[in-house]
C-alpha cells in the first residue's frame, strides 16, 4: 500500500466535503518528534475559510477532527497540529510492520512504475577514439549509467548509447602518423594501444611544426577517408578497434555496459552520410540560413538565442550538425518511438560547460517539431579538482582513468589482501564519491575522503551491508521468514529504521524523475547510519522476545542496501 497515496485520497475527500480545492503536499518533517509525514494544507486553504476561523492553526485543529472521522487506522496512529498550522501524521506500527514483511517476502522491492510503456535513450561516457580515456570521462560514465538504471527501475525501456567521437580531421593526422612512424603489429600487441596512438599523434604535431606540409598530407588522407578509400578506412577501423581494447577493460572494471550497436554505441561516423541532406532540409524549412560570411547557421525567433553554426563556409560540418543528425535519426527510428509514435525521452550526460550549446540544440529540435519541451534533457556534471601534486601522471598533462583505477585499488589494499575485494571496494569508493552529491557540483578529488570506512563513502556503505549479512549468517534461515506476534515495544530507533525502509520507493522515484542519483545516496547513507546505530545499541542475536523482529529488520536493511547500491552501479560484498 502506498501510504502517501492513501493518505492524500483521505485528505482530498475531507477537503472536497468542505467544498475546498487545494493541492496537497506531504513531506517528511525535519524533526522526527513531529511524526512521519506533515502537510501545510490548512495554511494553503486558509484564504478560502478565513471568515470562519481566526487562524490557520484553528482551521488545522478543526480539520484534524474531520480527518479522524475517516478510516485511517490501517495507516495513521496519531494526528497532531504544530506551529502555525502544520498537520503531522504518525504512522501506525502495524502498517510499518506489514511493509517490513513485504520487503522480506518479495526481496525485489516494489517501485513506482511511472515510466511504464515509455522509452528513454541515455547517452553517456562518449570518449574519443585514439584519445586518452581520462578521469574527465569518469563522471559521465558513472552518472549516466546510474540514471539509466534508475529509469529502468521506474518502468522505462532504456537504450544506453555511447556516442563515440570517431570522426573528424584528426583521423587524417592519425593515419599519417601511423604510416610514417607507427608499427601496426606493435600497436596491436600492446597492452595499451591507445597510449601508442596518442604518442604518434603528439609526434605528428611536433613534426608538423618543422614541416607544415604534413598538415596538407593529413587533410588529403581525411578526404580519402570521407570518400571511402579502402586503406584509409582500414586504418581508421583499426584505430577504433585498438581503442576498444582499452575502453572494454575500463567498462568491465566499472561494471558499465551499453545496449546500442552491440555494446559499442553509435559514433559520429554512423551519421556522416546524413549531414548534407540534413543541412539542405533545414535550409528548405527556413530554420537555417547562409550567413554573411558563407557559413550556414540556425537562427532563433526573436533572437532568443545566438545563432548555431551547422556548416562552415568551406562546407565542413561541426559537432552541432552531427548531434542534430543523431537526434533526427533517433526520432524517426521506430525502435525508439513510444507505442503512440511519440518521441522518446533523450538524455545527454555531458559536462556543464556545454549547457548553452545544448540549449541551442534542444530549442532547434523543438522548432523543427522533432521533440517537445522536456523530451530532451541535459544531465550536467561538474569538474574534478585536484590538489597540486596529488595526482601525477607518467603520460603527460592528462590523468588517464586507468591510473586512477589502479591508484584506488592500491589504496583499497590497505583494508584487505584479497585483490578481488580490493577492486570492488575501490570501484565502489570512486562511484559513491561522485554520485553522493549533485552532479553539476565540482568535486575536490581527495583520496582520504574517498577511501574511508568511517565517513560518507563507498567503503562505509559496503561495510554496512557486509555487517548485516554477517549477522544473518549466524541466524537460522527461517527466523526472518516467520511472522509470530510478540509482546514487546518497538523502540524509537527501531521505528525510525522501519520508517526509513518505507521511504525507499519514493526516493528512487524522485532520483529517477529528477535524473539525480544523489537523492538515493543520501537516503542509503542515512539508512546505513540508522542501521549501525541500531546494531551498536541493541542486542540482535542475543535478544529474546525481540530476536525475530530485529533479524527481520537486518534482513530488510540488507535487501534495501543491495537494491539501492545496484541502482547506483555499485556491487556489494557479502564479507569484508
pLDDT over 80 at 17, yes or no: yes
Query: Tens digit of pLDDT for each residue in 376-412?
Result: 999 999 988 876 544 444 445 678 888 889 999 999 9
Query: Tens digit of pLDDT for each residue in 130-149?
Result: 998 888 899 999 999 999 99
Per cent of the chain over pLDDT 70 is 96
Phi-psi region of 9 (alpha: psi -120 to 50; beta: other; left: phi over 0): alpha
Distance in angstroms (rounded) separating the CA atoms of residues 217 and 214: 5
Per cent of the chain over pLDDT 90 is 70
pLDDT, average across residues 434-458: 88
pLDDT recorded at residue 73: 63
pLDDT recorded at residue 35: 86
User: Which is it for strands 376-381 and 296-298: parallel, antiparallel or unpaired?
Assistant: unpaired
Q: What is the DSSP string of 231-298?
A: HHHHHHHHHHHHHHHHHHHHHHHHT----TTTTT---GGGGGGGHHHHHHHHHHTTSEEE-TTS-EEE
pLDDT recorded at residue 415: 83
pLDDT recorded at residue 486: 58
pLDDT, average across residues 150-174: 95
pLDDT recorded at residue 482: 60
pLDDT recorded at residue 549: 92
Distance in angstroms (rounded) separating the CA atoms of residues 364 and 357: 11
pLDDT, average across residues 13-27: 88
Bridge partners, 287 (sequence order): none
Q: Please, what is the angle between helix 401-412 and helix 419-435, to 10°?
A: 120
By mean pLDDT, which of 163-167, 168-172, 203-207, 260-264 is the weakest?
Answer: 260-264
Residue 113, burial from CB neighbour count under 10 angstroms (0-12, 13-18, 19+): middle
> 289, 283 in Cβ contact below 8 A?
yes
Distance in angstroms (rounded) separating the CA atoms of residues 149 and 566: 8
pLDDT over 80 at 347, yes or no: yes
Residue 541 CA neighbour count, 13 Å, CB half: 9
Closest CA to 468 of 563, 373, 540, 405: 540
pLDDT recorded at residue 217: 96
Query: Tens digit of pLDDT for each residue in 51-80?
Result: 899 999 999 999 998 888 777 767 888 899
pLDDT recorded at residue 377: 98
Query: Tens digit of pLDDT for each residue in 525-569?
Result: 999 999 999 999 998 998 777 888 999 999 999 999 999 999 999
Q: pTM value? A: 0.91
Residue 306, burial from CB neighbour count under 10 angstroms (0-12, 13-18, 19+): exposed
Which of residues 2 and 94 earns the better pLDDT score?
Answer: 94
> 517, 150 in Cβ contact below 8 A?
yes
pLDDT recorded at residue 3: 79
- Cell numbers 520508517 correspond to 499
> 152, 205 in Cβ contact below 8 A?
no
Query: Tens digit of pLDDT for each residue in 366-379?
Result: 999 999 999 999 99
> 7, 41 in Cβ contact below 8 A?
no
Domain locations along the chain:
3-91
Under CATH, which architecture does the 3-91 domain have? 2-Layer Sandwich (3.30)
Query: Tens digit of pLDDT for each residue in 291-327?
Result: 888 999 999 999 999 999 999 988 888 899 999 999 9
Closest CA to 465 of 413, 525, 546, 414: 525
Bridge partners, 38 (sequence order): 27, 88
Bridge partners, 349 (sequence order): 379
pLDDT band at 451 (very low <50, low <70, confident <90, very high): confident
Task: State the chain's mean pLDDT as an integer.
Answer: 91
pLDDT recorded at residue 414: 86
pLDDT recorded at residue 344: 97
The x, y and z cell numbers of residue 335, run together, are: 525502435
Which of residues 543 and 38 earns the better pLDDT score?
Answer: 38
pLDDT band at 258 (very low <50, low <70, confident <90, very high): very high
User: Which is it for strands 119-123 and 345-351: parallel, antiparallel or unpaired?
Assistant: parallel
Specify the DSSP class assigned to residue 489: P
Amino acid at each position: 500500500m502506498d501510504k502517501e497515496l492513501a493518505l492524500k485520497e483521505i485528505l482530498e475527500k475531507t477537503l472536497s466535503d468542505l467544498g475546498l480545492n487545494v493541492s496537497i503536499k506531504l513531506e517528511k518533517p525535519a524533526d522526527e518528534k513531529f511524526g512521519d509525514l506533515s502537510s501545510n494544507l490548512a495554511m494553503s486553504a486558509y484564504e478560502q475559510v478565513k471568515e470562519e476561523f481566526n487562524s490557520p492553526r484553528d482551521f488545522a485543529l478543526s480539520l484534524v477532527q474531520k480527518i479522524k472521522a475517516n478510516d485511517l487506522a490501517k495507516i495513521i496512529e496519531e494526528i497532531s497540529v504544530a506551529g502555525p498550522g502544520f498537520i503531522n501524521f504518525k504512522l501506525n506500527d502495524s502498517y510499518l510492520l506489514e511493509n517490513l514483511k513485504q520487503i522480506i517476502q518479495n526481496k525485489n522491492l516494489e517501485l513506482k512504475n511511472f515510466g511504464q510503456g515509455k522509452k528513454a535513450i541515455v547517452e553517456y561516457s562518449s570518449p574519443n577514439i585514439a584519445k586518452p580515456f581520462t578521469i574527465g570521462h569518469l563522471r559521465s560514465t558513472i552518472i549516466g549509467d546510474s540514471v539509466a538504471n534508475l529509469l529502468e527501475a521506474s518502468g522505462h525501456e532504456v537504450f544506453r548509447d555511447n556516442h563515440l567521437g570517431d570522426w573528424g580531421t584528426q583521423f587524417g593526422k592519425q593515419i599519417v602518423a601511423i604510416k610514417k612512424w607507427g608499427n601496426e603489429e606493435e600497436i596491436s600487441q600492446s597492452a595499451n594501444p591507445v597510449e601508442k596512438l596518442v604518442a604518434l599523434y603528439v609526434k605528428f604535431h611536433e613534426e608538423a611544426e618543422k614541416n607544415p606540409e604534413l598538415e596538407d598530407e593529413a587533410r588529403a588522407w581525411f578526404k580519402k577517408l570521407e570518400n571511402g578509400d579502402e586503406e584509409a578506412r582500414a586504418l581508421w577501423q583499426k584505430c577504433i578497434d585498438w581503442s576498444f581494447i582499452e575502453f572494454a577493460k575500463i567498462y568491465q572494471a566499472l561494471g558499465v555496459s551499453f545496449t546500442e550497436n552491440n555494446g559499442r554505441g553509435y559514433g559520429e561516423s554512423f551519421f556522416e552520410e546524413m549531414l548534407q541532406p540534413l543541412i539542405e532540409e533545414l535550409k528548405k524549412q527556413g530554420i537555417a540560413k547562409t550567413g554573411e560570411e558563407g557559413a550556414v547557421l540556425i537562427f532563433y525567433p526573436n533572437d532568443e538565442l545566438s545563432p548555431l553554426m551547422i556548416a562552415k563556409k568551406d562546407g565542413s560540418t561541426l559537432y552541432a550538425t552531427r548531434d542534430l543528425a543523431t537526434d533526427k535519426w533517433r526520432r524517426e527510428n521506430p525502435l525508439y518511438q513510444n507505442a503512440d509514435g511519440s518521441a522518446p525521452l533523450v538524455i545527454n550526460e555531458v559536462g556543464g560547460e556545454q549547457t548553452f550549446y545544448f540549449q541551442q540544440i534542444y530549442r532547434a529540435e523543438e522548432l523543427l517539431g522533432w521533440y517537445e519541451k522536456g523530451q530532451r534533457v541535459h544531465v550536467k556534471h561538474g569538474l574534478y579538482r585536484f590538489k597540486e601534486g596529488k595526482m601525477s601522471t607518467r603520460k603527460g598533462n592528462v590523468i588517464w582513468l586507468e591510473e586512477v583505477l589502479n591508484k584506488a585499488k592500491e589504496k583499497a589494499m590497505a583494508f584487505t589482501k584479497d585483490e578481488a575485494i580490493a577492486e570492488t571496494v575501490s570501484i565502489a569508493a570512486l562511484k559513491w564519491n561522485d554520485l553522493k552529491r549533485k552532479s553539476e557540483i565540482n568535486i575536490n578529488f581527495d583520496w582520504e575522503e574517498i577511501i574511508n570506512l568511517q565517513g560518507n563513502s563507498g567503503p562505509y556503505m559496503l561495510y554496512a551491508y557486509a555487517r548485516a549479512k554477517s549477522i544473518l549468517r549466524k541466524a537460522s534461515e527461517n527466523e526472518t521468514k516467520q511472522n509470530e506476534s510478540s509482546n514487546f515495544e518497538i523502540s524509537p530507533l527501531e521505528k525510525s529504521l522501519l520508517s526509513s525502509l518505507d521511504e525507499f520507493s519514493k526516493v528512487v522515484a524522485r532520483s529517477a524523475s529528477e535524473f539525480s542519483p544523489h537523492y538515493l545516496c543520501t537516503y542509503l547513507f542515512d539508512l546505513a547510519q540508522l542501521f549501525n546505530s541500531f546494531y551498536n545499541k541493541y542486542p540482535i542475536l542475543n535478544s529474546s522476545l525481540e530476536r525475530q523482529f530485529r533479524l527481520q529488520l537486518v534482513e530488510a536493511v540488507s535487501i534495501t542496501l543491495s537494491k539501492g547500491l545496484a541502482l547506483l552501479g555499485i556491487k556489494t560484498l557479502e564479507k569484508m
